[in-house]
Chain A
Amino acid sequence: MTIRMASRRRAAALAATGASLALILTACADTGDGGDGGGGDGGGEAASFEIDCAPYEEFGDLEGTSVSVYTTIVEPESVTQTASYEPFEECTGVTVEYEASREMEAQLPVRVQAGNPPDIAILPQPGLLNTLVTQYDAVLPAPEQVEANVDEFWSEDWKEYGTVDGTFYAAPLGSNVKSYVWYSPSMFEEAGYEVPETWDDMMALTEEIAASGAIPWCAGVESGDATGWPGTDWIEDVVLRTAGPEVYDQWYTHEIPFNDPQIVDAFDTAGEILKNPDYVNGGLGGVDSIATAPWTDAGFPILEGSCWMHRAANFYQTQWPEGTEVAPDGDVYAFYLPSQSTDERPTLVAGEFIGAFTDRPEVQAFQTYLSSSDWANAKAAATPAGGWVSANNGLDPELLATEFDRLSAEILADPATVARFDASDLMPSEVGTGSFWAGITEWFASDASSQEVTDDIENSWPTN
């Protein structure tokens, strides 16, 4: 699951429910935010960002109309999100009504069934798009302007993720790069360790650190009712490296069974790190503590020096405690999770998609804006603290706020990168957000074997 937006779910849930009164107040405040049409004063930076208004003229006079957006992107990310809509609002006079909820993924199908869908939903995973199309027949195919934009600015692969049964529905919005290992540059330098270039180098480094008496890795997959997703990312990354992209494609499309020997092999390869008590779980406990450690804090032991490496996506950047410097010479930085050799760079990616439920001109105009490079650049300009990147090839890397974001953009744009979308987001929801999450949690929690876990998941694959 690609929930950068859900990232603060646990922490916020704790805080909000600590006093139920506070929860009610928060809920009221949330709707209040949605009402005023996208944070009028929040984004001074974006307002100064100029775009070309011409593409939206063909939709006619849109002055005074409004478009409702429903999303999982809550505060603080919502501030930069709404700020990035301002150039469009200034061009067209359309008001964007922004509504964010952590329960959006559960509530959206309910609203669709009740005949009360938003105009536009920011779908955090293609699996949800698939459900909405195949089960509820609710999402409208993308208008031609959007398709033209996507053809121009995005690769075939990305367009494919927004396509269901040959019809293109949803343009990609932001992108995440998941194949990162976070580490402390200063700790590495003091100990004389080099950033590993291949998987074997990385295993050798792991052994070296373990031999010195330290625990090299830390990991955590607890994420409320989405517990398990960071573990599935680990497995997916390893499948890409041990079995290769072709097998990966066959795997999530179920051309090969989930318990295919190559997949079991990938589980075991990941297990060489994640299920070895000498290698995990620095600062957090034993192997089983991976199941209970909240993913939001699982990398923090690096800051305390009790862990050396933590595999997590680029959006983990925003998780570090305030004051942590993310830079090649700072407190923490990330290196690309290496593959078997240096000339292939399989990369696990994820992202959000724009689904439309109505086809009024202002809605289509807004869809067109969101799929353009203008939006990507406006968003980059509106995000001064960083932590956001897109595979939109019209994105100007210079506008990205941090060196790390530019590294992510570079990886996404690199022709040597073989990008594959997060498989659990593409699998049927029974598996992708059900048995795969549950299985990987069991794999850590009760020391279930790779064979047992993959057998169970294979049995849960829907037959119809």
Chain B
Amino acid sequence: MNLYLLAEAVVAFLLVAGGIFAFTGSLGMLQFKDFFMRLHGPTKGTTLGIGCTLIASMLYFTVTQGEFHVQELLITLFLFITAPVTGHMLAKTGLHMHLRFTTGTRGSVPEFRDEDVGQSRVARPAKARHPWRSRRQKRRGRLPR
């Protein structure tokens, strides 16, 4: 019984903390003044918010059903992979669209050279290889392309 009480307290704490973090992350979108600052809210505040909620879920189902629930780890993993990538993409788009910064932003954005924007001065692989056909052609002695 005591264990259940303890687990309940921990789950409740994690849920409340998760809710608060998720909320402040979203509040950041409202508070901050320019696009790049607003980006900081969702990339961080929500990560821990969702993390706390997932740990609470894991704990709750493990204790109540008596078997390990680790599925939530997958959600965490996917989130940790996708959140920074979307953040990076959004920030990069913002840079390329020359969005304005709030006054007082220190440092400056360097002018982009063609290579940085991806206007192809960089060698790319000539042609995407078909997953299996290219190998068969090679085996027949015919090189692809």
> Do A and B share a complex?
no
